Structure 1
Amino acid sequence: MSTPSNRPIHGIIVPLASPLTAADRLDESALEKLVDHVIAGGVDGLFLLGTCGEGVSLSHRLQRQLVERVCRQAAGRVAVLVCVTDVSSAESGALAQFAADAGADFAVAAPPFYLPLSQQELADYAVKLAARCPLPLVLYNMPDLTKVPIEPATVRRLMDQPRIVGIKDSSGDLAYFEHLCRLSRQRTDWSLLMGPEHLLADAIALGAQGGVAGGANLFPRLFVDICNAARSRDPRLARLVELASRLNDVYGDETSSAATVIKGLKAGLAALGIGNGLPAEPLAPLPAADQARVESTVRRLAQELR
């Protein structure tokens, strides 16, 4: 899409699931169906290879296959963001270059997640990655999985880097997010995106530009409506948020692990006729009883949203 670099990323960005037919085999038909489904639902962007997309569990070959296919299909319709998180800076840079060549608009990077970094090391890493990255870079704060939070002071320092254009926060810490909102006023091109979808409406009210909502894989229009209602203070917001909260039955609950959320999300997509529910190895699919629960929840909600 060639999104102008001086315009913040905004609205609902769907962290696209990665449909598989088998271990390390992309389900191209399901992927095409999913991309059309979420774009038809009004989302503003696609986030590839993030947590919901199981990026760290996919081979480099499969990562690139998915990026290439989605960029080709989505070209000119919505922004495409590609997560390049890796324990190797060189691999992150190589994937960012591939994504740029394929037509992506932004690269997204969380801290390398094996060895713990100091805030100085984290800042140096981000500056160097932004310098070698051919795409504008979005930071990704997800301390539960990386062990390293991007502290507000570090965010403030990195805002001085023009090639770093925003941050997605998946910490679930609303006080931290509010601090970031205050910082973000210093740059008109800075994007602040909320990760946990149950905090989306609060984040928009605080000044966020948008959210990266996993549930938008299933019901994109619902999350677009929540985002718009939060911005306009539409009285329907409470009802929309209540409907979205029913997806907790798909994920387990708001405190479920990322692995449980991924399994539920893929089972939910299967209930909509998109893919077969298979997560990337080493995760196993949901047990049959849980799949039945997810299918029932998704179908009931789909009927109510018609």
Structure 2
Amino acid sequence: MMPTPLSGVVPPVCTPLTPDREVDIPSLVRLVDHLVNGGVHGLFVLGSTSEAAYLTDAQRRLVVETVTSHVSGRLPVLAGAIDMTTPRVLDHVREVTAAGADAVVVTAPFYTRTHPAEIARHYRVIAAHSPAPVFAYDLPSSVHTKLSPDLVLELAADRVLAGLKDSSGDLGAFRAVVTAARTRPDITRFTLLTGSELVVDSALALGADGAVPGLANVDPVGYVRVYDLCAAGDWERARAEQERLCALFGMVGVGDPARMGGSSSALGAFKAALYLRGIIDCPATAEPQVPLSEGEAERVGKYLAGAGLL
């Protein structure tokens, strides 16, 4: 059973790949153990950091089955059901819930332009057919639609959504949702999670329930420490730990922007860090992303060393 609201650190789990770009199941299991042993409170598979957009449907299913069977109920597992239209998302919902996911995480529709009323209908139809709770995934950088606070709060009040993963980068809008959700009597048991690596302490101070930081793959203990310090009201030590993690996050910029995109650089850095820490066997990212060079991977190692992780 997933707690409501869900709280704590819920890493968006990287998907380790073999050199020929198949899912590396032994490495995935080791990564899950690394996260569980680091004290995290849940796991999110098939999000952006999981490279869900690059995986085949069979690979998506394999990731969910592997993680849920290995976790075996010790932690809640959220799974992305991300696609362009409502019927396609419903197909993914059926697959990931049959594979054992405890909740599904869904973006707004994309590719075609949609009206807020159509986005609301999208979530209502999915929630009506999903056997698991539905979380909204606010990801305008990828789907080119920002979920408005009013829309999120309407769906929360109507019990359509169980929570929000906010990866919009708009802390003001997130604050508006958090404040209203904590004060409106018609909104209860609604989970509010920030997707930021850099302002976890600030989001928790606003009243968020937890965080879904990609960098937690590399340093789960650090993010759990931030969460615990904030929960204890030790904001000064939480800030110091957050600043250490902000410095570590600099690894996402090691890739040369003249030959690769920001996603290739960031995901390549996370996987290089996991490889250097001995957690996964291969730092490969999915095609057509450009891999880090040897020199760029060495720079990742320097970030790890500076953070006390090597």
Please give the TM-score of this superposition, normalised by the length of structure 2: 0.92
1:57–1:281 Cα contact (<8 Å) kept = yes
Aligned residues, how many? 299
The residue aligned with 1:290 is 296
Q: What's the CA shift for 1:76?
A: 1.7
* Contact persistence 2:264–2:291 (CA under 8 A): no
Task: Give the whole-Å Cα distance in 2 for the aligned partners of 1:257 and 1:179.
Answer: 29
Q: Which amino acid aligns with 1:92?
A: V
Residue 283 of structure 1 aligns with an amino acid whose one-letter code is: Q
Please state if 1:262 is matched with 2:261.
no
**SS of residue matched to 2:208:** coil
Q: 1:58 aligns with which of 49, 55, 74?
A: 55
Note if contact 1:82-1:106 (Cα within 8 Å) is conserved in structure 2: yes
Within the alignment, does 1:44 sit opposite 2:19 as a pair? no
The answer to whether the Cα contact below 8 Å between 1:127 and 1:161 also exists between their aligned partners in 2 is no
Work out whether residues 51 and 258 of structure 1, in 8 Å CA contact, stay in contact via their aligned partners in 2. Answer: no
Tell me how far 1:180 sits from its aligned partner. Answer: 0.9
Q: Alignment partner of 2:113: what SS?
A: coil
**Which structure shows the higher strand fraction?**
1
Provide the identity percentage. Answer: 32
2:81 paired residue number: 84
Match of 1:192, SS state, is strand
**Distance in 1 between the 2:277 and 2:158 partners?**
42
Which shifted more, 261-270 or 29-38? Answer: 261-270
Report the residue type matching 1:165 in the other structure.
A
Measure how far apart 1:22 and its partner are.
3.5
Instruction: Give the aligned partner of residue 257 of structure 2.
Output: none
Please say if residues 127 and 160 of structure 2, whose CA atoms lie closer than 8 Å, have aligned partners that are also in contact. Answer: yes
Comparing 62-71 with 98-107, greater Cα deviation is found at 98-107
The residue matched to 2:307 in structure 1 has which SS? Answer: helix
- Deviation sequence 1:122-164 (CA, Å, 0-9, x none): 1111111111111100000011111001011111221133241
Cα RMSD between the aligned structures? Answer: 1.6
Whether the aligned pair in 2 keeps the contact of 1:271 and 1:299 (CA below 8 Å) is no
Q: Would the aligned equivalents of 1:23 and 1:281 in 2 still touch at CA under 8 Å?
A: no
Aligned to 1:27, which of 24, 29, 47?
A: 24
Matched letter for residue 2 of structure 2: T
Cα pair distance change 1:47/1:303, threshold 3 Å: closer
Find the counterpart in structure 2 of residue 155 from structure 1. Answer: 152
The answer for unaligned runs of 5 or more in structure 2 is 255-260
What stretches of structure 1 of length at least 5 have no aligned partner? none
User: In the alignment, does 2:9 pair up with 1:3?
Assistant: no
Tell me the TM-score normalised to structure 1 length: 0.93
Where 1:26 maps in the other structure, the secondary structure is coil
